[in-house]
Amino acid sequence: MEKFKTNCLVLGGGVAGIAVAAKLADSFEECILVEQNKELGSETSSRNSEVIHAGIYYKKDSLRSKLCIEGKRLLYGYLEDRKIAFNNCGKFILASSQEEIQKLYQIKENAYECGVEDLEFGNDLIKEYTFLDYHEHLFSPSTGVFDSHSFILSLERDFCDSGGIILKGNKFLRISRQKDHFSVLVNDLNNKIEFEIQTSLLINCLGLGAVALSNTLIEENRHTLKLLKGEYYSYSGKEKLSHLIYPVPKEYSLGTHATIDLGHGIKFGPSAYEVQEVDYSISNEQKPFFLESIRSYWPDIDANKLYPSYSGIRPLLENEEDFVIEATSLDKNILIDVLGYSSPGLTCSLATAQYIKDMLDEF
Ligand SMILES: Cc1cc2nc3c(=O)[nH]c(=O)nc-3n(C[C@H](O)[C@H](O)[C@H](O)COP(=O)(O)OP(=O)(O)OC[C@H]3O[C@@H](n4cnc5c(N)ncnc54)[C@H](O)[C@@H]3O)c2cc1C
């Protein structure tokens, strides 16, 4: 079997992997990224709402909070600079009961403590949406939507321009640890050939597969992965939106919201229910729950104009709300894990890349 050595190996070419790889490429003589699919970003990174989150819900000083607020700033700057389409449209969060009004105040207070001071009650733009039903509304002006596919392609170009090597259609199979390197077994699915990559710096951005790799190297059952599926439906009704419309957040998700794409088409999602395996098909059984959730703020939505669209799966961690992004020294090797990297991981991606670079600079 052929064996190759490299200075830095990134496993997984979703938004986390390619953002980190692009950030690190200049610091290493050689950096390789391995992705099983034929294109980067074709798993969770293209199965989401494409929302640039403001950073208003997450606990102060948590990684999610810090990386979201910094990531939002970096992302708007990057999109502007590279002329990638985005719409800083803002979003309304609607309270459908007295109890939910209290939650809006808590969200505003939390956002303020985290340093996001632009949330406002009483924005009159909501009045144009006469089909919505709500007791109170809170507006977040810095929320937006963007073209995440072009963003990932642009990061891919950045990485390649810095000399990075991308192995697409290459599946990571197994790993073992030697004193001064990891031996990483990879199957080139294009040619059905197995080969080994040796590296002393491994960055684990395997998304839904990241926990399994980390547990193999550090400690069996250290983390437990929980898969939370979310489905989207597109909407072909006559109503138009120029803003995102969210309910108040639910336990595991931000609620089934209405988002607009860059062409102002409306989609609803994501729902949130636990699954045992990765299956992106959309189940009709879920549609009644989905509708119930939308009707809490859009009572007359026409169910016949809602069409199943796509789904995504959140890689959550059991007993841990925050992302886990950590470096572990194993003999002379360094492992960087990106675990539980669910929403708002797209928004956070550039800040996550910087965070990992800073971590490595300390080693
Ligand atoms: C329903 C939903 C809605 C969301 N909405 C938003 C939002 O609006 N805004 C936002 O900021 N964030 C959102 N997110 C979060 C965001 O999409 C994720 O945080 C982010 O895409 C995760 O990126 P990743 O690179 O960690 O994972 P992935 O995109 O899953 O990338 C991991 C990569 O690893 C590859 N891989 C896995 N196993 C192997 C292997 N054995 N060999 C080789 N390659 C392998 C996969 O093919 C994949 O490409 C949402 C997430 C979900 C699920």
Cα–Cα distances in angstroms (integers) from residue 263 to residues 90, 266, 336, in the given order: 16, 9, 38
Strand partners, 323: none
Spell out the residues 6+ positions from residue 192 whose beta carbon is closer than 8 angstroms to its own.
none
pLDDT, one tens digit per residue, over 324-340 is 999 999 989 999 999 99
- Quick one: pLDDT at residue 221? 83
- Let me know if 349 is exposed, middle or buried by CB neighbors in 10 A (0-12, 13-18, 19+): buried
Closest Cα partner for 281 from 209, 235, 228, 231? 231
Distance from Cα 14 to the centre of ligand 1, integer Å: 5
Mutation pick for ligand 1 pocket among 23, 37, 45, 79 (CB with most ligand atoms within 8 Å): 45
Q: Return phi, psi of residue 188, to 5°.
A: -80, 100
Domains located in the chain, CATH noted = 2-46+150-223+322-362 (3.50.50.60), 91-141+225-317 (3.30.9.10)
- What local confidence, expressed as pLDDT, does residue 252 receive? 67
- Ligand 1 atom nearest the C-alpha of 172 is 42
- The per-residue pLDDT for 111 is 97
Quick one: pLDDT at residue 35?
Answer: 98
User: What residues line ligand 1, using a CB cutoff of 6 Å?
Assistant: 12-17, 34-37, 41-45, 47-51, 53, 171-172, 205-209, 230, 270, 312-314, 338, 341-347
Whether the Cβ atoms of residue 143 and residue 89 lie closer than 8 Å to each other? yes
Q: What confidence score (pLDDT) does residue 4 get?
A: 95
Q: How far is the CA of 123 from the centre of ligand 1 (A)?
A: 34
Nearest ligand 1 atom, CA 269: 1
> Ligand 1 mean position to 312 CA, how many Å?
9
Whether the upstream peptide bond of residue 270 has omega within 30° of 0, thus cis, is yes
The pLDDT assigned to 195 comes to 97
Q: Decide: 57 and 113 in contact? Cβ < 8 Å.
A: no
- Provide the CA 141 distance to its chain's centre, in angstroms: 21
How far apart, in whole angstroms, are the C-alpha atoms of residue 320 and residue 129?
A: 38
> Mind spelling out the 3-state secondary structure of 5-41?
ECCEEEECCCHHHHHHHHHHHHHCCCEEEEECCCCCC
* Residue bearing the CA closest to ligand 1, atom 15: 343
Mutation choice for ligand 1 from 20, 37, 40, 44, CB with most ligand atoms inside 8 A: 44
pLDDT digits (tens, 9 = 90+) for 33-59: 999 999 999 999 999 999 999 999 999
Contacts of residue 71, Cβ cutoff 8 Å, sequence gap at least 6: 344, 347, 348, 349, 350, 351, 352
d(CA 269, CA 231): 6
pLDDT of residue 330: 92
Global pTM exceeds 0.85: yes
Choice from 10, 20, 48, 336 to test ligand 1 binding pocket (greatest atom count within 8 A of CB): 48
List of the chain residues with pLDDT < 70 = 252
Q: How far is the CA of 328 from the centre of ligand 1 (A)?
A: 22
